[in-house]
Amino acid sequence: MTESFLGGVKLTLRLRELTVVDLDVHVYETPAALAPHCAQPWRTSLEYFASLPQSYLGTPGFAPYLDAWPDFPPDSPRRQTVTSPAQLRGDLDDLGIDIAVLIPDCFLLHAAIRQTDYALELARAYNRWLTGEWLTEDNGVKGAVLAPHHDPLVAAEEIRAYADHPNIAAIYLPTSCVDPLYGHRRYDPLYDAAQETGLPVILHSGLNVHPAFPFNLHGYETAFAAHALAHPFSMMANLASIVETGVPVRFPGVRFVFTEAGLTWVPFFLLRLDRDYVTMRREVPFYTDKPSVYLKQCTYFSTQPIEEPDRLGDLATFISLFEGEDNVVFASDWPHWDFDHPLKAMQIPVSDEALAKIMGGNALRLLGLH
């Protein structure tokens, strides 16, 4: 047997020994699926949208994917959606994932919906659909309640309404085209509800073109270039916003998870924040220590899309640079085209103890699960 084959067998056996928690699995909501859960007059609109030609994550009037690039076919013919709880549980079992937190598909673009009352009802309908059709069993599948940024008071109502549901484990905030960024004080009611309920806040990035920073990506002629920037840029922009208004001080019980941006930007950006704090601390007088000290207590960063350096040890070095052993959580992004199999994260050359934390232990603590 080859050394690589034996190594793969060992990784697979090790994976089976671990509790694997996935902080980013996508469920496919559609206008037809949400229509029965939506109040009028918007139900009629969803029924109409369901009759229109639809593209992946680009349904007119529902998921405003404002791309500027050709819709090239994916490199893999594998399906890109999960459409039933049974199908999902089967996928997770095949991947070796014990517990998964569901994130929307189409509503990765929820923040780009302009009409407030329509967006709010879509969020309510999604939460009804999620809890009523996907979270009815105790099978390791958990959900994140969609908190609409359009009205933080309504977002707080939704958080409190579902916080006691046995399978709601988090709050989901879309970042694609969000304006203003999530440090703005208008979101204080949302964070107050998050702190009160103890639910962590998951920020998930996406790719779109929008006049609002940091999604003003019209300067690129390929999705290749825009995709490389949109995800980490949106995480850095929102993290800087959260830091500059003192959210970690004003809401010390709120924990944030930054998903689908990888890991290597984290030590760079924390070092930048710490450096500028030293010279401009008068602008942020609510901090008595470097921002990284506060963020160590309240931020988590997901592995996906995991960077793949030629020397895998470099990735372990990046994690050590921000002391991330207790702050990195596994995410697969299943079933999207760029998903990461758990075995890929298992290749990070860290200690067995650190690997157990990254693959599930940190997420169990974060979500309050056993």
- Per-10-residue mean pLDDT for the chain, 370 residues long? 59 88 97 96 94 77 73 68 95 97 96 95 98 97 98 98 98 95 98 98 90 87 88 96 98 98 97 97 97 98 95 95 96 94 94 96 95
Distance CA 125, CA 146 (A): 10
- Helices 265-280 and 291-298: crossing angle in degrees, nearest 10, is 140
Confidence at residue 65, expressed as pLDDT on a 0 to 100 scale: 74
The pTM score is: 0.95
Distance CA 155, CA 194 (A): 10
Confidence at residue 206, expressed as pLDDT on a 0 to 100 scale: 85
- Helices 313-321 and 265-280: crossing angle in degrees, nearest 10, is 30
Confidence at residue 6, expressed as pLDDT on a 0 to 100 scale: 46
The answer to whether the CB of 113 falls within 8 A of the CB of 119 is yes
The answer to whether the CB of 185 falls within 8 A of the CB of 210 is no
The first and second tokens of residue 78, run together, are 């594998």
Distance CA 56, CA 206 (A): 14
Confidence at residue 7, expressed as pLDDT on a 0 to 100 scale: 58
The first and second tokens of residue 62, run together, are 């529902």
